[in-house]
């Protein structure tokens, strides 16, 4: 069956030579997360992808220290923010999207399958009647193949489940922001053992992205330091991933990938911030409502993960 969304994305990459996005990365070392500000040079319209709100689990304090440099950059460049884009409901950091929205404007958007994540984790956190798992906490929900623009930049949304059911990649001009679906070639791919994750789905999502033209630029949401590398990097290409990704290079079968991925996942601990992160990020980065004493609490379900 023809993959119309992927064909549209590939055509967009090929046609993007005259309108390439300006990309600025902000790396948060404590969570190994890369936030991107992308904008159209012609009319200064912009989007922020996968922002980070600092959170100290020992004290329970949040801080905008990770988000304020993004605001400073946007203001210095004279940009207008149209979108705060999430690739998925992150399990390793709290989203700064609501904070940035208050300061800069713009709409918060995520893939429509966030509803599945909300249903699963709403039950885990016993979220209460105030929390409706319908995606309404976000300003916009994307379907596979949706198109929109950032100024003159064409954007196509690709649904790439496997790490979570709601993962999407944003194809912006000739660049793809892949979220956690894949990492740099020497580190491999995302885990698939979270609730709703699926290694077979992840393999098919990876191969779908790797059908894009080989010169397509890929931007990671995270980078870690594997053995043999002492500096962080987060940009590669489809061609390089197909040649060298340790889990998903050309020639790896689906069954082999699933065996490798599931074996590795069995050795991994849960992310340090998964419990605070998911219950906030499934609310589009908003904290839960305060209790009757005016204090906001995050729940820690015991012996459930």
Q: Distance from first CA to last CA of the chain, Å, rounded?
A: 38
| DSSP sequence for 166-200 | T-EEEEETTEEE-TTSB--TTT-B----STT--HH
**DSSP strand E in the chain: where?**
22-28, 33-39, 45-49, 54-56, 61-63, 80-85, 107-111, 140-142, 147-150, 153-159, 168-172, 175-177, 217-219, 235-237
Using a cut of 0.85, tell me whether the model's pTM lies above it. Answer: yes
Cα separation, 284 vs 282, in Å, equals: 5
Residue range 198-244, pLDDT digits in tens = 999 999 999 999 999 999 999 999 999 888 899 999 999 999 999 99
What's the mean pLDDT when you consider all of the chain? 95
Tokens standing for residue 304: 């459930």
Query: Quick check: 267 pLDDT over 90?
Result: yes
Residue range 203-213, pLDDT digits in tens = 999 999 999 99
> What sign for the dihedral angle of Cα 171, 184, 81, 95?
positive
Provide, rounded to the nearest whole percent, the portion of the chain with pLDDT above 70.
98
The reported pLDDT for the residue numbered 222 is: 97
All domains in the chain, ordered by first residue: 4-278 (3.60.15.10)
Tokens standing for residue 12: 């967009």
Triad 211, 83, 290: Cα angle to 5°: 120
The reported pLDDT for the residue numbered 227 is: 87
Residue range 46-105, pLDDT digits in tens = 999 999 999 999 999 999 999 999 999 999 999 999 999 999 999 999 999 999 999 999
How far are the Cα atoms of 4, 16, 143, 170, 302 from residue 9, in angstroms, in the given order?
9, 10, 14, 9, 43
The reported pLDDT for the residue numbered 2 is: 64
pLDDT (mean) for 130-134: 94
Residue range 3-40, pLDDT digits in tens = 889 888 888 787 766 678 999 999 999 999 999 999 99
Give start and end residues of each alpha helix (H) in 80-233.
97-104, 114-124, 199-209
The reported pLDDT for the residue numbered 18 is: 60
Beta strands 147-150; 33-39: pairing state: unpaired
The reported pLDDT for the residue numbered 16 is: 66
Cα separation, 111 vs 87, in Å, equals: 7
Cα separation, 62 vs 79, in Å, equals: 26
Query: Quick check: 128 pLDDT over 90?
Result: no
């Amino acid at each position: 069956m023809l993959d119309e969304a992927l064909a549209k994305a590939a055509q967009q990459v090929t046609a993007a030579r005259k309108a390439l996005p300006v990309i600025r990365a902000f790396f948060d070392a404590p969570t190994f997360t890369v936030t991107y500000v992308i904008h159209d040079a012609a009319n200064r319209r912009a989007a922020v992808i996968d922002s980070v709100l600092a959170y100290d689990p020992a004290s329970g304090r949040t801080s905008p220290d990770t988000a304020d440099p993004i605001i400073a950059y946007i203001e210095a460049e004279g940009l207008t923010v149209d979108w705060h884009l999430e690739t998925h409901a992150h399990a390793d950091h709290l989203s700064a999207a609501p904070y940035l929205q208050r300061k800069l404007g713009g709409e918060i958007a995520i893939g429509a399958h966030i509803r599945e994540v909300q249903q699963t984790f709403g039950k885990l956190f016993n979220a209460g009647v105030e929390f409706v798992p319908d995606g309404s906490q976000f300003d916009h929900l994307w379907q596979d193949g949706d198109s929109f623009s950032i100024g003159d930049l064409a954007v196509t949304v690709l649904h790439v489940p496997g790490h979570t059911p709601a993962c999407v990649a944003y194809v912006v001009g000739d660049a793809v922001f892949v979220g956690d679906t894949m990492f740099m070639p020497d580190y491999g791919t995302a885990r698939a053992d979270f609730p709703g994750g699926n290694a077979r789905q992840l393999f098919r999502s990876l191969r779908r992205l790797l059908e894009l033209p080989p010169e397509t630029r890929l931007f990671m949401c995270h980078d870690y330091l594997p053995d043999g590398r002492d500096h962080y990097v987060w940009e590669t290409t489809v061609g390089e991933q197909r040649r060298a990704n340790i889990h998903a290079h050309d020639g790896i079968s689906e069954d082999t990938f699933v065996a490798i991925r599931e074996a590795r996942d069995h050795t991994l601990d849960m992310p340090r911030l998964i419990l605070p992160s998911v219950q906030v990020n499934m609310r589009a980065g908003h904290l839960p409502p305060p209790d009757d004493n005016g204090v906001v609490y995050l729940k820690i379900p015991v012996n459930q993960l």
